[in-house]
Amino acid sequence: MPRNHYTYLGGHSNDQSSKAGVLLVNLGTPEAPTARAVRPYLAEFLGDPRVIEYPRWLWWLILHGVILRIRPARSAHAYARIWTSEGSPLRVGSEKLATGLQEKLGQLCTEPVRVALAMRYGTPSVRTQIEQLQRQGVQRLLVLPLYPQYSATSTGSVIDAVADTLKQLRWPPELRIVNDYHNDEGHIQALAHSIERWWSKHGRGEKLLLSFHGIPQRYVTAGDPYFDQCQNTAQLLRTHLGLSETELIVSFQSRVGREPWLEPYTDATVQRLAKEGVKRLDVACPGFSVDCLETLEEIAMQNRDFFIGAGGEDLRYIPALNDSPEQLSSLAALILKHTHGWLQPASAAQAT
């Protein structure tokens, strides 16, 4: 007989009611702001075929022969600029978000629901967190990638990691996945309220730039819906904030390599706006649920320097939703919607 490769994890019981769990998944982070720690993180991230769609043999040569010899030191320097006494901002912020959602759902639901956090690259991994949830008796699992807009490079990769884990389990949990929430009404309201609250405290700039993470243009040409979903999020925010297309502008950041990525590019856009006479520019990044390297260093530091160097006076970064009350409420509502039939809201129980 062939050897059994399926894994059985304690926690399941036919005598127990099915327990529900929520797995939040964010991108990931190195363990420390050093080249030594960044190198394995980048190797895992850039080695994902969902992220880089090149022939594997060619990309392996480029990645290991060039990129991983140069980029870890540069990335480590960038991480060091934002690292805190608590550690990686993305890790700390994501953990606070998971803790807040656990408490929020505990208030909203009549039965217990377990919330866990995984990182697509680095630790804790998707595999270890799903296995831990199963050991805790979770038999119904909602996976919520913390990417509002779907891309094969982000949410698609999370789905791959979940599938790779489940296909090795003898008794996989019942599964639901949030594909995206780019136009979810609660999420759009949370973004709008967050921006308005920031404006009420700091004043309003002359224009608002929404900077989304970029992807290669050929991915969109091949069918990735990311560009359209980013534009949809932006248009919904224009409506909620009462801004025109000239007052709220969209751009795309973080491009690498020589091939065309989604345009307009953020660095070129902030320089153009400064040269056109804009003195105070506000920037928000609604593709990021939690602040990270791309928001705190690339936008708030690098692009601020680009803007000022081109003649602007101040680029003000509006923080991500993080574990704000708006984000906790909107994501809790999203979770309840996607776990309909699994979880009973406390209000519904009181009504009956």
**Which residues are part of a known binding site?**
213, 294
The span from the CA of 181 to the CA of 236, in Å, is 13
Beta-bridge partners for 183? none
Residue corresponding to tokens 């996945």: 177
Residue 19: helix, strand or coil by DSSP?
strand
Closest CA to 196 of 318, 325, 46, 285: 318
Closest CA to 281 of 266, 296, 263, 293: 266
Q: Which long-range contacts (CB under 8 A, 24 or more apart) does 331-335 make?
A: 331/97, 331/101, 331/144, 331/187, 332/101, 332/104, 332/105, 332/108, 333/186, 334/144, 334/178, 334/181, 334/184, 334/186, 334/187, 335/22, 335/101, 335/105, 335/142, 335/144
**Contact status, residue 315 vs residue 278, Cβ threshold 8 Å:** no
Q: Which residues are annotated as a binding site for Fe(2+)?
A: 213, 294
The span from the CA of 187 to the CA of 250, in Å, is 18
Residue 142: helix, strand or coil by DSSP?
strand
**Prior bond to 264 cis, omega within 30?**
yes
Closest CA to 194 of 252, 237, 223, 228: 237
Q: Which residues contact 92 (CB under 8 A, 6 or more apart)?
A: 84, 86
The span from the CA of 325 to the CA of 338, in Å, is 20
**Contact status, residue 114 vs residue 342, Cβ threshold 8 Å:** no
Residue corresponding to tokens 């708006």: 326
